[in-house]
């Protein structure tokens, strides 16, 4: 299969070259965009992370994969499979679940793993049948003594959970079963994403034996007006400890998080709230909503179809998320691949209890190599400081910014409710009071191309002691190739610049910039494809284009290349 797929890629490229659609220089650049430490298969299309788990000390990641090419190809999609001992270096295995039966012949779509008592893993996934109806199916490992769980057997009772006219579910909007959790009544529960008209639904099912599932009268949660809910994820977080919890955990020190991926906008939202175990419903906290501008997102850039799992070896909850390309279809064919996974992130409840904090898993530090300590310097207005001594195209930057005098902050206009629009209006080149200050990454000599990740601080109109912190990722100058989507992203960050330094951690990896602001309260991931740095001359700068000086401290590391599939 590997041979035929490489051969196919080679033939397509030769054709495109011979017709002049592609230049040889574009082939070089294709290689240039390949990442060094982000999860990706060797070739072709990848989308959602599926069923992450740990079994006998081995981490598993399944993912939606099109074995036939760089486009989505949902009719052929399989669960590809890789394993790792550290979540950073991965080895590939044969596809775990692929279309083979009447109930999944048109695609094996997303789903989750549940670890049953005794440790047996179970995959629940969506199968699409020849009528394009979606239903939920179950598979178990063939050999539980194999820590790599290489073979999976679909049970003969499939499909286990179907949409029928009697249960009023639309079979074309019924997918992505969650990890199941066990209630105090010893019954299993799981949710399936769906919609009724424009109302997004997390339909709840219960089972005593994991085989016979009954639909509950009420969904676990639903919201009007935001359409089809894909990949719902529901999990507990600790209010008191910096640890993750098993999916079935409940109790007085536990809150719940509900995440949904909105098919209409391809944005994800999460809410924090309470799981009422008796009534079997989830009630989001007041003000916690799944909607634009006031809703919380794991990531305000590219990040979709995410899924968490409980890592029982290290008592932590880990988040995986799919990062789509921003390149054109031609660009993807040229690269021979499309789609990445974000670096796995540890997820915890923030001490406010109102939002989550995310941080790249600690294992990423194993890849750190050359280290540069940033000098403790004051960046005067208009300054640009080049960081030397690391490999800027494959690096991690951790930096803090301190402003001792906040007087020059511009007044925040209350009509600026959309941070993304504000970041586009006030891009990195627009001079301000406090900020923009931050990083220029994947920059070319002369800065014709660069991606700017930065902060601005505003003061509130009515309360001169209150500040608004804006974090932006400005891709408008990221590439001279105008075929790419170069939209700017932004979010407000819940930090108080009077009492806290502003932190920024950016993972830079050839064509991805994954940035964590406010110690993980806000993340923005961008995909960029600079053209001018193909010769290897990529640069990294720290800048301050605001009117006030900013003091910086920090560290930068070159990153080794992970063993990737
Ligand atoms: N991707 C899968 C679906 C899911 C969508 C198909 C989300 O199961 O709803 O590849 O990206």
User: What separation in Å is there between the alpha carbon of 231 and the centre of ligand 1?
Assistant: 7
User: What separation in Å is there between the alpha carbon of 263 and the centre of ligand 1?
Assistant: 9
CA–CA separation, 22 and 15 (whole Å): 9
CA–CA separation, 342 and 245 (whole Å): 22
Domain boundary, last residue among 310, 325, 360: 360
Closest ligand 1 atom to Cα of 266: 11
Q: How many independent structural domains does the chain possess?
A: 2
Q: If you take atom 11 of ligand 1, which residue's CA is the nearest one?
A: 305
Q: If you take atom 9 of ligand 1, which residue's CA is the nearest one?
A: 230
In sequence order, the 6+-apart residues with CB closer than 8 A to the CB of 292 are 265, 267, 418
Residue recorded with tokens 């029928």: 164
On whether residue 161 sits in a domain, the answer given is: yes
Counting as low any pLDDT under 50, the low residues of the chain are 1-22
Residues 429 and 545 in one domain: yes
Closest ligand 1 atom to Cα of 72: 10
User: What separation in Å is there between the alpha carbon of 261 and the centre of ligand 1?
Assistant: 10
Residues 258 and 291 in one domain: yes
Residues 366 and 420 in one domain: yes
Q: What is the CATH number of the domain that holds 70?
A: 2.115.10.20
- The per-residue pLDDT for range 323-337, each reduced to its tens digit, is 999 999 999 999 999
Residues 349 and 371 in one domain: no
On whether residue 14 sits in a domain, the answer given is: no
Helix (H) or strand (E) holding 291, with range, is none
Residue 151 structure tokens: 């073979």
Name beta bridge partners: 484: none
pLDDT on residue 462: 85
Residues 424 and 544 in one domain: yes
Ligand 1 pocket test: which of 112, 203, 231, 306 has the largest number of ligand atoms within 8 Å of its C-beta?
231
CA–CA separation, 530 and 121 (whole Å): 43
On whether residue 24 sits in a domain, the answer given is: no
On whether residue 21 sits in a domain, the answer given is: no
* DSSP 8-state class, residue 211: S
User: What separation in Å is there between the alpha carbon of 91 and the centre of ligand 1?
Assistant: 24
Residues 372 and 324 in one domain: no
Residues 339 and 474 in one domain: no
Domain boundary, last residue among 310, 330, 360: 360
User: What separation in Å is there between the alpha carbon of 180 and the centre of ligand 1?
Assistant: 19
The pocket around ligand 1, CB under 6 angstroms, is made up of: 47-48, 64, 74, 77, 109-110, 126, 175-176, 230-231, 304-305
Closest ligand 1 atom to Cα of 111: 8
User: What separation in Å is there between the alpha carbon of 551 and the centre of ligand 1?
Assistant: 45
pLDDT on residue 25: 52
* Residue 210 belongs to domain spanning: 41-360
- CB count within 10 Å of CB 365 equals 12
Q: If you take atom 10 of ligand 1, which residue's CA is the nearest one?
A: 109
Residues 241 and 321 in one domain: yes
pLDDT on residue 342: 98
Residues 337 and 430 in one domain: no
pLDDT on residue 238: 98
CA–CA separation, 401 and 384 (whole Å): 14
Residues 178 and 313 in one domain: yes
Phi-psi region of 517 (alpha: psi -120 to 50; beta: other; left: phi over 0): beta
* DSSP 8-state class, residue 209: S
On whether residue 564 sits in a domain, the answer given is: no
Closest ligand 1 atom to Cα of 74: 10
CA–CA separation, 242 and 152 (whole Å): 35
CA–CA separation, 152 and 143 (whole Å): 8
On whether residue 383 sits in a domain, the answer given is: yes
On whether residue 29 sits in a domain, the answer given is: no
pLDDT on residue 4: 40
Residues 434 and 344 in one domain: no
On whether residue 26 sits in a domain, the answer given is: no
pLDDT on residue 21: 45
Exactly one of 48, 176, 233, 509 is catalytic; name it.
Answer: 48
Coil, strand or helix at 519: helix
Coil, strand or helix at 524: strand
Residue 48 catalytic?
yes
Residues 351 and 373 in one domain: no
Domain boundary, last residue among 340, 360, 380: 360
Q: What is the CATH number of the domain that holds 481?
A: 2.60.120.560
């Amino acid at each position: 299969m590997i041979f035929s797929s490489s051969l196919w890629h080679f033939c397509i490229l030769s054709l495109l070259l011979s017709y002049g659609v592609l230049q040889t220089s574009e082939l070089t650049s294709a290689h240039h965009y390949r990442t060094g430490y982000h999860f990706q298969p060797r070739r072709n299309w990848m989308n959602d992370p599926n069923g992450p788990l740990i079994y006998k000390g081995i981490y598993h990641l399944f993912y939606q994969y099109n074995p036939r090419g760089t486009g989505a190809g949902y009719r052929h999609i399989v669960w590809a499979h890789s394993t790792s001992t550290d979540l950073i270096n991965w080895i590939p295995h044969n596809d775990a679940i692929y279309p083979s039966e009447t109930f999944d012949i048109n695609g094996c779509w997303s789903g989750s793993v549940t670890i049953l008592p005794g440790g047996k893993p179970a995959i629940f996934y969506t199968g699409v049948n020849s009528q394009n109806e979606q239903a939920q199916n179950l598979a178990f490992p063939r050999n539980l003594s194999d820590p790599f769980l290489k073979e999976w057997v679909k049970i003969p009772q499939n499909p286990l959970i179907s949409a029928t006219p009697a249960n009023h579910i639309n079979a074309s909007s019924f997918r992505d079963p969650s990890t199941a959790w066990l209630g105090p009544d010893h019954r299993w529960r799981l949710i399936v994403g769906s919609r009724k008209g424009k109302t997004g639904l997390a339909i709840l099912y219960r089972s005593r034996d994991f085989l016979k599932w009954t639909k509950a009268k009420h969904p676990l949660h639903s919201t009007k007006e935001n359409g089809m809910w894909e990949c719902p994820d529901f999990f507990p977080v600790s209010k008191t400890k910096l640890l993750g919890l098993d999916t079935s955990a409940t109790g007085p020190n536990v809150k719940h998080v509900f995440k949904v991926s909105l098919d209409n906008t391809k944005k994800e939202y999460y809410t924090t709230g309470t799981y009422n175990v008796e009534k079997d419903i989830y009630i989001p906290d007041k003000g916690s909503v799944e909607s634009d501008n006031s809703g919380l997102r794991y990531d305000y850039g590219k990040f979709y179809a995410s899924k968490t799992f409980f890592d029982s070896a290290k008592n932590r909850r880990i988040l995986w998320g799919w990062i789509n390309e921003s390149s054109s279809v031609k660009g993807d064919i040229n690269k021979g691949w499309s789609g990445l996974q974000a670096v796995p992130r540890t997820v915890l409840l923030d001490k406010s209890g109102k939002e989550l904090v995310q941080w790249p898993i600690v294992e990423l530090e194993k890849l750190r190599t050359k280290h540069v300590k940033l000098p403790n310097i004051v960046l005067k207005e208009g300054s640009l400081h080049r960081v030397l001594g690391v490999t800027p195209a494959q690096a991690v930057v951790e930096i803090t910014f301190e402003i001792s005098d906040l007087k020059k902050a511009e007044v925040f206009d209350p009509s600026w409710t959309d941070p993304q629009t504000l970041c586009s209006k006030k891009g990195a080149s627009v001079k301000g009071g406090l900020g923009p200050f931050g990083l220029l990454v994947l920059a070319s000599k002369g800065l014709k191309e660069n991606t700017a990740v930065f902060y601005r601080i505003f003061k509130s109109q009515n309360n001169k002691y209150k500040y608004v912190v804006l974090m932006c990722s400005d891709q408008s100058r990221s590439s001279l190739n105008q075929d790419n989507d170069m939209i700017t992203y932004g979010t407000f960050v819940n930090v108080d610049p009077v009492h806290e330094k502003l932190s920024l951690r950016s993972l830079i990896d050839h064509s991805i910039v994954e940035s964590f602001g406010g110690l993980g309260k806000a993340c923005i991931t961008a995909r960029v494809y600079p053209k001018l740095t193909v010769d290897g001359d990529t640069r990294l700068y720290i800048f301050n284009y605001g009117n006030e000086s900013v003091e910086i401290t920090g560290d930068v590391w070159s990153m080794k290349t992970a063993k990737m599939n």
